[in-house]
Amino acid sequence: MQPRPPQHKSGYFRIGLLLGAAFVAGLAAGPVSGLLERQFGFPVGIQQAYAEDGSRADTYRLLALFGDVFERIRADYVDPVKDKEVIENAINGMLTGLDPHSSYMNSNAFRDMQVQTKGEFGGLGIEVTQENGFIKVVSPIDDTPAARAGVKPGDLITALDGKTVQGLTLNEAVEKMRGKPSSHITLTIKREGVDKPLDLSMNREVIKIQVVRQRMEGEDVGYIRLSQFTEQADASIKKAMQTLKTQAGPRLRAVVLDLRNNPGGLLDQAVSVSSDFIDRGEVVSTRARRPDDSQRWDAKGGDVTGGLPLVVLINGGSASSSEIVAGALQDHRRAVLLGTRSFGKGSVQTVMPLPGNSAMRLTTARYYTPSGRSIQGLGITPDVPVAESRTEVQHFGPEREADLNRVLTNSGGTPQNALPPRTDLPDIVKQIPDKPPEGFPAFDAAKPSETDFQLQQALVVARAMANQKRAAN
């Protein structure tokens, strides 16, 4: 089980801030109001603590207010509470109040995150986020208990083994969905277009994510699906490409890279995967609060396809690292993007370890495509728009980054229309329909080539690009 928002973590950890450690230690040592009174020489309490921001004294009063509330909870809450839980909840509230992607991880959640980024963890195999008190499925991971049980992107998990998830934090819900391999769990699902809740039962497994799958579509086009940006993403792409070359030999004329419903992952892997298709030039840059903390990453060189035409599939579930790759390939005119607008998560989260083996995930920068575009709240617009189905699916709540509460603004980038119109698209693109025809069959995972309309159109474009390249040579 893996909590999200489609994650975009930096490839390194920072040491926890000393101020944070001192603050937590102060709370654990004794009442904050008394501590501040002894240290700064003025009495503080709830009535005295209300003040507008703007001075150090105001900050101390507000911290004292926090301490007094903590004391009242310890003394007067209807049931005894553990100091550790109250403080951790307060820290998490402080972080989640900033934006949808900053959060606190206790020691268990931090350990789980470190395991997940390695691509192996215990649970159900499902990417989730929190929405309106429920747990929303971003995407089930291929060939996992959740995927086999029929969990779908957009499902709302309302109960676990008959107990509501309302009142649980995202991490608490995720911990309940974890467990020993072979142990049983039932998810109660609310799904679009289905009147009654669905109960989906499954057994937990040790999830070893096969982040890349590949196959030949016909004799001439290789298909690669990347489901997550774990530590194995780059190496798996290279291996998949070599497998396709071995299978097809000189008949291989184009490649389709499928990033649909890929929620993201590690930043360094996004850079490496982009470099697998780009010989040189910028992949992505980040701009932080302090200019000195801004960074730029360039392609490492070595197009593993040998310059074959490339089509990239994206949709509303393509987020974060997926958008970095799609944006870089689009800006460099290395690939044609086909599908629907991506999620729009253009922020970077840094994981900072804290005392007690816990950590905080803090939004520290926005990222920008090579042309300087910020996709925060906007997403990547495909070159060839093609919908998955004829009818637009109605959603219970937020569908993309811009729909979330406390979302970061889009700022500092070049205008979205700064890129000149593409002149390298094959003529057949003008004939590609933007949605399936009447009577097109529903998607069947067992027959993707026959029922995946977006993939069918991607193959048409890929073969046209191959023909165009051969004619140019």
* 143 annotated active-site: no
Q: At residue 254, does pLDDT exceed 60? A: yes
* 320 annotated active-site: yes
Among 4, 104, 101, residue whose Cα is nearest residue 364: 101
Q: Which residue has the higher pLDDT, 181 or 464?
A: 464
Strand 254-258 relative to strand 310-314: parallel, antiparallel, unpaired?
Answer: parallel
Task: Tell me how far apart the terminal alpha carbons of the chain are, to the nearest angstrom.
Answer: 49
Mean pLDDT (whole number) for 354-369: 92
Name the residue ranges covered by the structural domains of the chain.
Answer: 31-96, 120-208, 212-472
- Residue 390, Cβ neighbours under 10 Å: how many? 12
Determine whether domain 212-472 maps to CATH 1.20.1560.10: no
Helix, strand, or coil (residue 310): strand
Give the per-residue pLDDT at 116.
67
Q: At residue 53, does pLDDT exceed 60? A: no
Give the per-residue pLDDT at 149.
95
CATH topology of domain 120-208: Pdz3 Domain (2.30.42)
Q: Give the helix ranges, DSSP H, for 30-102.
A: 32-40, 46-49, 56-76, 83-96
What are 428-462's pLDDT values in tens digits? 999 999 999 998 998 877 788 889 999 999 999 99
Q: At residue 20, does pLDDT exceed 70? A: no
* 345 annotated active-site: yes
Give the per-residue pLDDT at 121.
66
Give the per-residue pLDDT at 54.
56
- CA atoms of 433 and 239, how far apart (whole Å): 34
Mean pLDDT (whole number) for 187-193: 92
> Which residues are bridge partners to 201 per DSSP?
186
Catalytic residue from among 274, 320, 322, 374? 320
Contact 349, 397 (CB under 8 A): no
Helix (H) or strand (E) holding 237: helix 233-248
Query: Which residues 6+ apart lie within 8 Å of 190 measured at CB?
Result: 134, 155, 156, 158, 197, 198, 396
Catalytic residue from among 268, 345, 347, 452? 345
Q: Which residue has the higher pLDDT, 109 or 35?
A: 109
Mean pLDDT (whole number) for 342-362: 91
Catalytic residue from among 142, 331, 383, 452? 331
Mean pLDDT (whole number) for 30-47: 42
Query: Which residues 6+ apart lie within 8 Å of 5 measured at CB?
Result: 100, 101, 129, 138, 263, 319, 345, 404
Mean pLDDT (whole number) for 268-296: 94
- CA atoms of 380 and 401, how far apart (whole Å): 12
- Where is average pLDDT lowest: 18-32, 51-65, 298-312, 313-327? 18-32
Contact 209, 127 (CB under 8 A): no
Query: Which residues 6+ apart lie within 8 Å of 30 measured at CB?
Result: none
Helix (H) or strand (E) holding 27: helix 18-29
- Percent of the chain past pLDDT 70, that is, above it, reads 85
Give the per-residue pLDDT at 326.
97
What are 143-165's pLDDT values in tens digits? 889 999 999 988 999 999 999 99
Mean pLDDT (whole number) for 24-48: 39
